[in-house]
Structure 1
Amino acid sequence: MQTTVLAALSRYAVNPRWRFRPEQPSHDLDVEDIIAAQRRAVESTFDSDPNKPTLLNDFGLSLKLRFDRLGNLQDLEDAIAAQRRAEELMLDCHPFKPSLLSNLGSSLRSRFQRLGRLQDLENAVTIQRRAVDLTPDGHPSKSNRLSHLGLSLRLRFQRFGDLHDVDDAISAQRHAAIITPNTHPYKPIQLNNLGLSLRSRFERLYNVQDLEDAITAQRLAVELIPDGHLNKPACLDSLGGSLSVRFKRFGNLQDLEQAISTKHRAVVLTPDSHPIKPGWLNNLGLSLRWRFDCLGDPQDLDSAVTAQRRASELMPDDCPDKPICLNNLGGSLRLRFERVGDPQDAEDAISVQNRAVDLTPQGHANRPLYLIDLGLSLKSKLRQSPSRSQFVSAYNAFMGAAQPMAGPPIIRLRAALVGSNMCAEYPQFDCYRDMALRACQSMLESIPALIWLGQSISHRLEQLSGYGIGPAITAAASLAISAGKLSLALEWLEEGRAIVWGQLTQLRDPLDDLRVCHPGPADKLRGLSAALEGAGRRSTVTAGRSIQAVDEPNEAGLIEAGSGPRTTLEDEAREHHNLAAEYEALLAQIRTLEGFESFLRPKSLAQLAPACQDGPVAVINIDRERCDALVLCRPRNVVHVPLPKFSLQAAEDVRSLLVASIHGRDARLSQEERGVYQPSFRDDMRDTLKTLWVCIVEPVLSSIKSELVAPASGGLPHITWCATGPLSSLPLHAAGIYNETEPSAPKAPDLVVSSYTPSLSVLLAAHLKPRDPSSATEVRILAVSQPKTPGQSPLPCTVAEANVVVRHFPECTTHLSDKEATVDTVFDAMAQHDWVHLACHGAQDARSPTSSAFYLHDGMLALARLMSLSQQRAGLAVLSACQTAKGDQQLPEETMHLAAGMLSAGYRSIIATMWSIVDADGPVLADTLYAELKHNLGVGDGLRVAYALHEAVVELRREVGEENFVRWVPFVHFGV
């Protein structure tokens, strides 16, 4: 009997007639009879029988295949139990042991996909690794087992975001494809799945080569698989998906044309009775809609609606993909309504999207997506016939999507942004302001979770720019100001800027600090964050679905892509809800730990107040609607200074004028270039400084006269400027009326000593750093000069500049010059010194700010490396390099530059330049600067670099002439 059963199972496994195809039921042998016979064989065989493990494995395979078709969870449980028992009875040296392990791993992976038990996925990966390790090279099933391991690793990556998993998946699947000949029937499947893993890694890291390799692999898969093969449509759709991704990334219309062509072939090759046909139709409809967006051909939009309507009709309501199809159909209908204006399209869009929401359980990660799209359709109808009820309905849809833990952070952020923008569009409704404030609050609450995306800095810059987070934050603050909620406005502005700035610079985030003290909770939190972020991020029904092969002792056969049971929407919602609850519980636990009571909570006004201990901090908010200053003063109150004469457009115009004047100057100016900017630069700068004085600086200083208190040691009062948007790269510290006929006209440098900060949090962190030594003999100074950097223009005065430091602090200064100043030498020396003076070239990398660097003799010392220094006593950094405080107008927040980066690297106080300086001015300014520093070291409240720099600039200004702006204006101070 055993021989008969095994022979029957072998026929069943390889004969396509018994593959449970919906359009072609099984013949000759009923699967129920097979399972019954196998069950009898297993029960009648003693454990000591050497055939028992093989019988158990075969029985488990049959149960697993029935589960794949019918979805009875008990079949999967029984299959796992049988395969586990087989594993226990079979020795590792048994030739079938690797096959058994691979099959058990696949069953565990299926149970994870059904029930969401994390341990099942972990066990699947562990067991399939063992299967691969036990399979000798050259074995015909080696490639199949590698491919199965790759599937589990990719799934774990999708759930938890660990890049090591997708790297290992690609490595295993690439190895599988390499050792499998093109004539092997599994080769197309392996290539397709390799392509999906490569695409997954591209979507995380945005390495273009991954996407190119994915398309190459999937093209070959399509070429190798015959048209009649039941997996051909899946390979075509996967290739179409990757081509669509490349189109969306680079905009090459040829990619979209090819995507539509391959997806259309997938549809044509799939009968209507096939359960995956609606998925291919949905994906084809999406690509047709994208082509309409590019070319505007209404036929494409009509075809998209037709395809997606057909997909929705073919798909039963209990299919977990039904809401996706309905939602995408609604999006195409809304688009057609906006272009053609047929009210029926708007009604149909709202109707099908309401169905998508209704079919999706509360707590499901996709529900916020459907709510956003429903809100957009309601908003489109609102434009045609404005009414308060329609406005409230659209708003409620957006806010339902923006609820905490409702979905991935980027989706919640988008919902809140759209909701707040809609409120701004309809101020005629009396409820708009309160509703807008709630939307802004939701937006700010969703931003912190973006810290853990784990994506490349370039992608995060695109994401921040694409979603307009910077302007949204300033708009939220503007709204709070108009509502009279000044403290809230300042808190929002600070929270948003601190997070965005931290994202741009890849600085230490709260999770890094947590990991130092409590690595276990930190790693668990990162995993949960990645799992929540990856949940429910599909608009295509079968995007990223792998094609699997069944590994068994006799011969492996194929199952159809997507023919196995999918996790139900209720199961998916339950899994997401459990993840969210676990995340919240862990967050609450972390907040009980000493020092982490406010972990991931916005700082309150009381917590921000210490930032003004060195004088008022003026936060300038520029929005399209209004411009205001919020000044945080010593009494811990916020003074509101309206700035009606200034605007976002004015700031952009002033910055453009200034940038045009200094365009092309990427190196420090030589002695011969002193007059290069005259007279055009002088005139432009005079106008710029007057505008800044009249519109911003004078109103602020006038409004806080009583708060501007001179230090006990005498001198001018101190103020710190924290600017947003284009204003952050303009010289507020030098604002004033510069006119030769009116030498006594008001000017900021004559009234206050100015500093800058990217955010209040940066100031707070700087205040917590240890003070410098109390005497000039204790401070340790590193001076670096690069007069002839290879590949750069000469800077002959840098040596004299460094010698000035040595002259003022002869006993405690280390001078590294020319060939001595290598990257490694300077890096090591910086860790041993309190101050550093860098007289060299600098370079700013706008796309990857932590790659911004200082040019040394043998290479570039980047911020990313400097941030790894242990800077316990890092006090002052003088960056006498090119444009070290020059922002980039392409960034959401232009305060990202070398000076701001050095603050984050651990230094309390930074002196930098806004544009290239005259080379000969370096030693002159350094002489006065270090004389002042030496005189005031250890006096009063410690090192006051801002005052020393102010005196040095006053001296330089006197020497070169007040209207020689190019010489003295660029020097600025950051920090405390």
Structure 2
Amino acid sequence: SLCREAISLCATGTHLAATIRLSLAWTLQMLSRINGSHALINEAVDIQRQALVDLPPSHCYDQHRHLRFLGVHLHYRYEVFGRPEDLDEFLDVSAQAVHLCPEMHIDRCKTVTEMLWALYAKAVRSGAVNELNKSIELGLNTLKEVSGAGMGRARCLGVVGDLLALRHELAPSDGRELEKSITLTREALQLYPPNRANYRVCVDRLALGLRLQYNWTGEISCLEEAIQLGRSSIDSIPTTHPQRFIPARNLAHSLMLRFNETRRISDLHEAIKWDRSALASIGTSHTSYPEISAQAVSRLCMLFDARGSFEALEEAITLGNTVLDTMASDHIQRSDVILELSKALLRRGRHQGNVADIDRSISELARIKEVMLQRTDGPELLSTLADCHIVRFRFNRGYKDANDALEIMTGLLDKLPPGRPEKYQYLVSTAELHMEIGTPYRTDRQLLDIFALVGGLLPRVAFFDLHLHTRLQSLAIGQSIALTGASHALNIGSSQKALEILEQGRAVFWTHALRLRSPFEAAPKELRARLLILARQLEKVRDSSFTGENPGAVEADIARRRGQIEEFNALLNQVRKLPGLNRFLLHDEFTTLRKASERGPVVVLVSSALGCHAILLKQGGDCVSIPIEHLPDIWLAHSGTEWRSIIVEARAEMRDCRKMKKSKIPKARRTAADEILRQLWIEVVRPVLSALGLEPAEGRNRPRIWWCPTGNFAHLPIHAAGAGGEWCSDYVVSSYIPTIGSLLAARNAYSPILKEDVQALVAATPRSSMSQWSDLINTREEARAIRAVLPSGSTMELPPADDACIEGGNGITAETLLKLLPQTNILHLACHGHQDLENPLQSGFILRDEKLTIERLMPVPLPRAVMAFLSACETAKGDFNQPDQVVHLAAVMFFAGFKSVIATLWSMADADGPEIARSVYQKIFSGNLDHIDPDDIAYALDEAVTKLRTVQPEPLRWAPYIHLGI
């Protein structure tokens, strides 16, 4: 109001009137930025035009300043309304201002900078690289001429940094321009006071540059820093500020990139929240609306993928179509919207069988293909286009679509540089293309090579995250690759290659954990010390059950962890370049794997959609495979589900030992269970035993056999197979292993222990403070019976409150168990066990005070461990979603260091546990040997189960007990 009053007092056509109008126009623009009033910015432009009219010829030296300010207002109005005429005028008046401003003028840098912003806006709209090159050259020359630490240099640094980043997006080269852009933006950030609005804008630009660098290099530390910057920016601006959409948009994009890397669903939900917030705060005519809309379409599609939300998918398609209808045909961001909309249409077409959606997708992508191939996200378009062609091939069976898809994917693999995170997914897609039935290019050997390559990359997908559950989730993308690749190898008669592929791609979760516990003895001394330090740092994890962590602190820790991972992997690669160390900490090749059968045959059961097989490693190292032709993978999957249902129904009857001694398993349930075991015997186990040349025998005249079930075989009791009075145990004594490599590692780590030197931790939990778990009164007697069998002085002393064997002792606590485990040779734990179906790493032992989870047990070192007897329910019941990562309580004990583990596949009868345990320990500690023989453990369990079977012949009673390990 003061400026308006001052203008009313001035004569028109004077320098003073022009100056006051300039101040009023600037004030109106600032007010518009604060309250979002569009009318104010229109008024600011009109008033600044009048200021130019008022400027008398005698003050023409000030004309460049007025032109520059008019350009600033036009720029802002263009950002708000997106009218091309405002951009054209902005360019025109900025060029005039530069022409009129003397080279040595104090405002020269500001004037050139404003023109550079005009050129940047034009390049964003048109994608014209030639004009961009001239702009960058002008900007770099201007920076050379401007010294000091003023705001003018800071703004110039910012725009030149943005120009370099834009050129990288439009015409990527070697990434140096992007690094230069980030360097300039960091310098600009140092020049701005933190309380200035430009400081926040610069923070947003730096976050954008770091995201681009992550996309280019795959360096996650760049992404973590971008997220931290995004949070600080959004926290610094009021919720009602009209510019809040900028940090909201940027943070959403960074969170989405991290979701793609880690699959944390919370990142996806938060990204969508910020997208919606940004769109709600701006109109459809705003220049940023297309960009934010494209991001939102992408996020909503991801939500459909993650949660099956068709509402999210329809929202994505509606938003994409709406934005396209309002965009100019030559708008540079039209390609981004088309790409994301095409991905949404592809999803809907695939799931609803709508060929029209696929046709439109291919048509839209073809229009923008040439433009997109010049950009860094060109591979994303090609991958989407290949997916469209293969989906249409499945609908129409047109060979051209199949060939187009393969040509696109193989071209992508050739062009994509190493280290890019999406390269693994493209390899998976290429492998799937080669398997596609009905295509004209199926080549068995080529496909086998692809699977070997993909399997080798799978361990790199898992990363040493702060949370173990995130490490496990990161492996979901490739959970079927090892099985499919092995099945293909078996179908073409390459059983040795099949074993190698399985060892590469299964139990990767544990492989990572064990790698960190390596002593690195083969590494040179100068590298070994640093490897040990990094391994200890990477082994530290956070408890995922704790949710009160500050996001900023967590992200800082993640960024630090990523740096440690990169250094750790770089050191491993350095060691592998040394003579004789090229296999350092890599999966075993067949020449090593064949040694696993030295003490008895090893049988790997492979199931996939391509077929089922048994791979036999005979004593002596010969490797053969036999097809399992009459039990397809779908039967195994169905039977695994049915077996689980049978167990759930029987669980209630297995709680009361007095009832169990009298009860009979219902006939219908017994019949279903018997049929599954009969089929396993006829189609799987008996053919395996015949191929091994085995005959029925008794006692220790039966050889040991190690079963390694994969895929859907993992959910079935192979050791209990039988029919017509014949059982697997009539021929062999069964043990299970997660992988062949884990068996070899356990044997190599085993050191004989004298029976008189045993340190046994015998613990029980007859009653837990967690009320949902029933009392296990028999566990007191079980613990007492075990201690009576053990050599004198071998039982580790427990605090009185933790000792269930004495009066007043209520059972062991988690803290006591974790404290004593590292000194333990033998662990006997009698308690409830729980397999968490939603989060397998939260499976655990129900102790007196809490559930001790796999996640908390994993980091505990067990250097002296020999045997664990887990007298608890479901301790070897695996995860149905990721069976080949072998995540259950028995596995954690085995991989942590126990060489032999006795566990249960399902709930056991309370009355049976103590009898089985007493029999096992009596057998192990009897005899003339002064040390524990690993073979004694498996034979002792077999003998105890045989005794139980004579009294309780139903497999649901005697079959849950298994032996895992050496």
Shorter-chain TM range is: 0.7 to 0.9
**Counterpart check, 1:826 vs 2:885:** no
**Counterpart check, 1:469 vs 2:484:** no
Deviation at 1:619, TM superposition (A): 1.9
Deviation at 1:851, TM superposition (A): 2.4
Aligned to 1:15: 74
Deviations 1:226-251 (A, max 9, x none): 34332232233333333333233333
* Equivalent-residue separation in structure 2 for 1:95 and 1:925 (angstroms): 80
Matched-pair contact (CA < 8 Å) for 1:629–1:643? yes
Deviation at 1:968, TM superposition (A): 2.7
SS in 2 for 1:447: helix
Q: 2:861 aligns with which of 870, 876, 900?
A: 870
**Counterpart check, 1:727 vs 2:713:** yes
* Equivalent-residue separation in structure 1 for 2:420 and 2:88 (angstroms): 44
From the superposition, tell whether residues 962 and 412 of structure 1 become closer, same or farther in structure 2 (CA, over 3 Å).
same
SS in 1 for 2:892: helix
Matched-pair contact (CA < 8 Å) for 2:737–2:964? yes
* Equivalent-residue separation in structure 2 for 1:302 and 1:209 (angstroms): 34
From the superposition, tell whether residues 469 and 699 of structure 1 become closer, same or farther in structure 2 (CA, over 3 Å).
same
Q: How does 1:761-780 map to 2 (within 5 A)?
A: 761-776=741-756, 778-780=757-759
Aligned to 1:396: none
Matched-pair contact (CA < 8 Å) for 2:869–2:903? yes
Matched-pair contact (CA < 8 Å) for 1:770–1:872? no
Aligned to 2:623: 638
Aligned to 1:672: 658
* Equivalent-residue separation in structure 1 for 2:206 and 2:416 (angstroms): 27
Deviation at 1:785, TM superposition (A): 0.7
Aligned to 1:749: 729
Matched-pair contact (CA < 8 Å) for 1:787–1:796? yes
* Equivalent-residue separation in structure 2 for 1:595 and 1:2 (angstroms): 77
* Equivalent-residue separation in structure 2 for 1:334 and 1:683 (angstroms): 44
Aligned to 1:414: 429
* Equivalent-residue separation in structure 1 for 2:288 and 2:250 (angstroms): 12
From the superposition, tell whether residues 65 and 243 of structure 1 become closer, same or farther in structure 2 (CA, over 3 Å).
closer
Which gives a bigger RCO, structure 1 or 2 (Cα 8 Å, sep 6+)? 1
Aligned to 1:395: none
Q: How does 1:430-509 map to 2 (within 5 A)?
A: 432-452=443-463, 456-457=470-471, 459-460=473-474, 462-464=476-478, 468-469=480-481, 471-480=483-492, 483=493, 485-495=494-504, 499-503=505-509, 507-508=513-514
- Structure 2 residue ranges without an equivalent (≥5): 1-59, 539-566, 804-808
From the superposition, tell whether residues 183 and 974 of structure 1 become closer, same or farther in structure 2 (CA, over 3 Å).
closer
SS in 2 for 1:635: coil
* Equivalent-residue separation in structure 1 for 2:290 and 2:374 (angstroms): 23
Q: 1:804 aligns with which of 781, 785, 789?
A: 785
**Counterpart check, 1:619 vs 2:604:** yes
Q: Which deviates the most, 900-909 or 73-82?
A: 73-82
> What amino acid is aligned across from residue 451 of structure 1 in structure 2?
A
Q: How does 1:549-568 map to 2 (within 5 A)?
A: none
Matched-pair contact (CA < 8 Å) for 2:489–2:498? yes
TM-score norm. by structure 2 comes to 0.75
> What amino acid is aligned across from residue 953 of structure 2 in structure 1?
E
> What amino acid is aligned across from residue 657 of structure 2 in structure 1?
Q
TM-score norm. by structure 1 comes to 0.74
**Counterpart check, 1:974 vs 2:964:** yes
> What amino acid is aligned across from residue 787 of structure 1 in structure 2?
P
Matched-pair contact (CA < 8 Å) for 1:677–1:966? no
**Counterpart check, 1:243 vs 2:300:** yes
SS in 2 for 1:248: helix
SS in 2 for 1:854: strand
Deviation at 1:607, TM superposition (A): 0.7
From the superposition, tell whether residues 60 and 839 of structure 1 become closer, same or farther in structure 2 (CA, over 3 Å).
same
Q: How does 1:225-244 map to 2 (within 5 A)?
A: 225-244=282-301
Deviation at 1:793, TM superposition (A): 0.8
* Equivalent-residue separation in structure 2 for 1:587 and 1:903 (angstroms): 25
Aligned to 1:364: 415
**Counterpart check, 1:25 vs 2:83:** no
From the superposition, tell whether residues 322 and 735 of structure 1 become closer, same or farther in structure 2 (CA, over 3 Å).
closer
Deviation at 1:132, TM superposition (A): 5.4
Deviation at 1:883, TM superposition (A): 1.3
From the superposition, tell whether residues 657 and 215 of structure 1 become closer, same or farther in structure 2 (CA, over 3 Å).
closer
Q: 1:704 aligns with which of 674, 678, 692?
A: 692
> What amino acid is aligned across from residue 461 of structure 2 in structure 1?
L
Matched-pair contact (CA < 8 Å) for 1:288–1:301? yes
Q: Which deviates the most, 628-637 or 133-142?
A: 133-142
Q: 1:90 aligns with which of 148, 151, 156?
A: 148
SS in 2 for 1:266: helix
* Equivalent-residue separation in structure 2 for 1:7 and 1:698 (angstroms): 93
* Equivalent-residue separation in structure 2 for 1:169 and 1:813 (angstroms): 54
Deviations 1:133-183 (A, max 9, x none): 775554333432332233234334445656665454334324433433466
Matched-pair contact (CA < 8 Å) for 2:755–2:932? no
Q: How does 1:275-286 map to 2 (within 5 A)?
A: 275-286=332-343
Deviations 1:615-652 (A, max 9, x none): 22122334556544332233222244555565445544
Matched-pair contact (CA < 8 Å) for 2:656–2:909? yes
Deviations 1:793-832 (A, max 9, x none): 1111112222223222441322444656222221111112
Deviations 1:4-40 (A, max 9, x none): 76665554444339999977635684766666777x7
Matched-pair contact (CA < 8 Å) for 2:262–2:474? no
From the superposition, tell whether residues 128 and 511 of structure 1 become closer, same or farther in structure 2 (CA, over 3 Å).
farther
Matched-pair contact (CA < 8 Å) for 2:109–2:153? no
> What amino acid is aligned across from residue 204 of structure 2 in structure 1?
S
Q: 1:782 aligns with which of 757, 761, 773?
A: 761
> What amino acid is aligned across from residue 211 of structure 1 in structure 2?
L
* Equivalent-residue separation in structure 1 for 2:573 and 2:696 (angstroms): 42
Q: Which structure features the higher share of helix residues? A: 2
Q: How does 1:297-336 map to 2 (within 5 A)?
A: 300=357, 304=361, 307-308=364-365, 311=368
Larger Rg: 2
From the superposition, tell whether residues 26 and 57 of structure 1 become closer, same or farther in structure 2 (CA, over 3 Å).
closer
SS in 2 for 1:146: helix
* Equivalent-residue separation in structure 2 for 1:326 and 1:650 (angstroms): 37
From the superposition, tell whether residues 917 and 309 of structure 1 become closer, same or farther in structure 2 (CA, over 3 Å).
closer
From the superposition, tell whether residues 363 and 76 of structure 1 become closer, same or farther in structure 2 (CA, over 3 Å).
farther
Q: Which deviates the most, 272-281 or 74-83?
A: 74-83
Matched-pair contact (CA < 8 Å) for 2:753–2:931? no
Identical counterparts, % of pairs: 25
SS in 1 for 2:88: coil
SS in 2 for 1:15: helix
SS in 2 for 1:935: coil
Deviation at 1:600, TM superposition (A): 7.0
Count of residue pairs the alignment pairs up: 845
> What amino acid is aligned across from residue 862 of structure 1 in structure 2?
T
* Equivalent-residue separation in structure 1 for 2:839 and 2:372 (angstroms): 48
> What amino acid is aligned across from residue 25 of structure 1 in structure 2?
D
* Equivalent-residue separation in structure 2 for 1:974 and 1:444 (angstroms): 25
- Structure 1 residue ranges without an equivalent (≥5): 367-402, 528-581, 740-745
* Equivalent-residue separation in structure 2 for 1:707 and 1:591 (angstroms): 46
SS in 1 for 2:926: helix
Aligned to 1:531: none
> What amino acid is aligned across from residue 686 of structure 2 in structure 1?
E
SS in 1 for 2:197: coil
Q: 2:834 aligns with which of 843, 858, 861?
A: 843
Matched-pair contact (CA < 8 Å) for 1:188–1:221? yes
* Equivalent-residue separation in structure 1 for 2:619 and 2:712 (angstroms): 28
From the superposition, tell whether residues 860 and 161 of structure 1 become closer, same or farther in structure 2 (CA, over 3 Å).
farther
Matched-pair contact (CA < 8 Å) for 2:251–2:271? yes
SS in 1 for 2:845: strand
Matched-pair contact (CA < 8 Å) for 2:767–2:810? no
Matched-pair contact (CA < 8 Å) for 1:18–1:26? no
